[in-house]
Chain A
């Protein structure tokens, strides 16, 4: 169920096929085109790009020696945090033209740290040009995306083939004499397949363990953990809104107007906040905790009224450099919490509405009331 609109189902098979077709056609067109004199420009661009890539990846020597830029400035997405700006970040920063010429950093480092890191690196203008070509290409490609759920389908396919063989052999070819082998293969195969189906079907629409790269390497560990900033300082609307609230840029600037150098990432990441303020282009964070569209959840109800800790649902965020979805956010998980969580009956005047339960609780006839006992597991608490 889609809350606001229904996305047209795009079958992955179809999209893959169309992508393949597109590639094929491109290749065909490319091949079929006669080589003309103008091509040389295109080809030289290609060569430049290749050269730039090789330089960046440390496959070719710089004048000043062999450095692998990509060993620090990653080209793809990462699962572990890498405090250095990624290649994409560099490319964007350069394209943004905010005055910093990042290539000068190597020749004239602006900070001690940069000097330290890039010690002995100097680049020539030709090398700079090549790198520019490559980074421009990187910027166009966009940041690498981690496949959210890569799973190993090897076992699944192997078992499938084995099962098919077992059936064929059992019925027709009869090569293997001992039938318990067939039976065993079939039983194990069905077991494996069922397990796969179960695991995968449970995962559908869920993203437990999802930890995407964010546009800014914002570390909750440093902010909430080491610096002990209260969650509600930034996510202040969680106390009275349905939404938890992604903090606006201005909230970052409350502190980062003053703090311009980060512990790990230097000025580079913090600069992104300033750049956003300057350009008016907000930071596009990647959403991690998302409930299906047909599920309505109020942060205010949980954090403010019920007094549930943020960590109950979001996990130990204060220990995470890259925020990861810890809980599966499944309905069962919600329901179980509602079954177990006791209501602070006397702390809110509202609950006097439940006068009978209130009296019972007061007289000690019952010792606690859980959310589920006052309709906490009704369907229309969350779905409407």
Chain B
């Protein structure tokens, strides 16, 4: 048996298999409580706002947004990068903790992966929306055509982006879905109603729990995981290339791929923390997601924050050291002390300073502080993208072009809409899918207790 080098119990309460099944499957088998309906209403309202914004965008054009000839990317791409960043948590959780044999991830990875899927879906909306002529979006695919045939510009990071995002979306859905097949089978077997049995049965694809199946299934999961590991690194690196490949001061930096990747993990883990704290509260899964889990995440965040912070410093240092006047201007003048200084310092505060409180056990142990700091990181990461995208474009090479950027209601509506989509997705997820990998947790539920027993 593969043992985690982690000492102690991973699932509290020394539950039997049946208890594990019962506890986790509970939300899918009972009527949702009031908070669920309240949250769903909120999500629906947000979705409606998004639908309105979507209509405005499609019916009248991108002019309804706040972007202009100088700052041609605004909230659309900020939100895109932000969501993509959040979408890194799930896969990263599964993959890296799998690679590092961190068994404790089992309790969280299902939720994290669901988060990934919905966040990437939200993110994937924006590249489509930010096109001037979205009805011609298929031009971006290299399909045989009667135009010569005319193919694509493979030099464009946007094409890499499209590939990376769609690959990542497909991969995370696959990972997520194949990860939950045994659990779907569990629900199928437990459900009384024929309808429910049929639906879960369809998705469980005839899972029977046989060792032969498990064997191939494990192998598949390992392959997918192995493929997803480099992918998860590359996705945000490629998103970073959107900026790094360009010539705009503040974008044109080689540090971007690793910096973006760490940022993504950072924001993703923060979002996981936020959501887990909330779910733990309302779904009564404290036994599975223990205080220790939260503390681990906090440690990861603290580490990520150090990297992020040093990246900020490095960027500024290089801007000065390189001697490129435009870059120095962007970093030292525009961001640190100019028009965007408030955004810049919010970013620094939220991302580089606040998580440092996790050095102290008191903060790691306090649910309140965990929650506050995780939210702050989410905000900080949004500001990071805002600072990168808007400040660089707003004041670039020729001062005659310099322009400010102000989002419109439509911009905000779209962002709210994606929140609605994300929330609705997550709510549906906790309603219909076991939020913790039952089969995996059963494998670790006895850990700690057996050792104790052996000791006894």
Contacts and interface: CB of A to CB of B under 8 A. Distances in A.
A and B touch in the complex (CB under 8 A): yes
Which label, helix, strand, loop or mixed, suits the secondary structure of the A interface?
helix
A330 B202 contact: no
B198 A332 contact: no
A335 B202 contact: no
Which label, helix, strand, loop or mixed, suits the secondary structure of the B interface?
loop
B194 to A, nearest CB: 11
B152 to A, nearest CB: 14
A91 B269 CA distance: 80
Contact of B147 (A171, A172, A332): A332
A377 interface: yes
Contacts, number: 21
Contacts of B198: 171-172
Interface string B124-157: 0000000000000000000001111110000000
Contacts of A377: 148
Contacts of B146: 202, 328, 330-333
B135 to A, nearest CB: 11
A332 B149 contact: yes
Nearest to B201: A171
Interface in B186-212: 198, 202
B150 A331 contact: yes
A148 to B, nearest CB: 18
Contacts of A332: 145-149
A278 B150 CA distance: 51
Interface residues of B, number: 8
Interface in A297-340: 328, 330-333, 335-336
Most A CB atoms within 10 A — which of B146, B198, B202?
B146
Nearest to B145: A332
A331 B147 CA distance: 5
A171 B145 contact: no
B131 to A, nearest CB: 15
A338 to B, nearest CB: 9
Contacts of A172: 198
Nearest to A170: B202
B193 to A, nearest CB: 15
A336 B146 CA distance: 10
Interface in B139-188: 145-150
A303 B146 CA distance: 24
Nearest to A333: B146
Contacts of A335: 147-148
A320 B145 CA distance: 30
B20 to A, nearest CB: 30
Contacts of B149: 332
Contacts of B147: 330-332, 335
A25 B147 CA distance: 46
A333 B147 CA distance: 8
Interface of A: 171-172, 202, 328, 330-333, 335-336, 377
What 3 pairs between A and B have smallest CB-CB spacing?
A335-B148, A331-B147, A332-B146
21 contacts: A171-B198, A171-B202, A172-B198, A202-B146, A328-B146, A330-B146, A330-B147, A331-B146, A331-B147, A331-B148, A331-B150, A332-B145, A332-B146, A332-B147, A332-B148, A332-B149, A333-B146, A335-B147, A335-B148, A336-B148, A377-B148
Given A330-B147, A335-B148, 18 more contacts: A171-B202, A172-B198, A202-B146, A328-B146, A330-B146, A331-B146, A331-B147, A331-B148, A331-B150, A332-B145, A332-B146, A332-B147, A332-B148, A332-B149, A333-B146, A335-B147, A336-B148, A377-B148
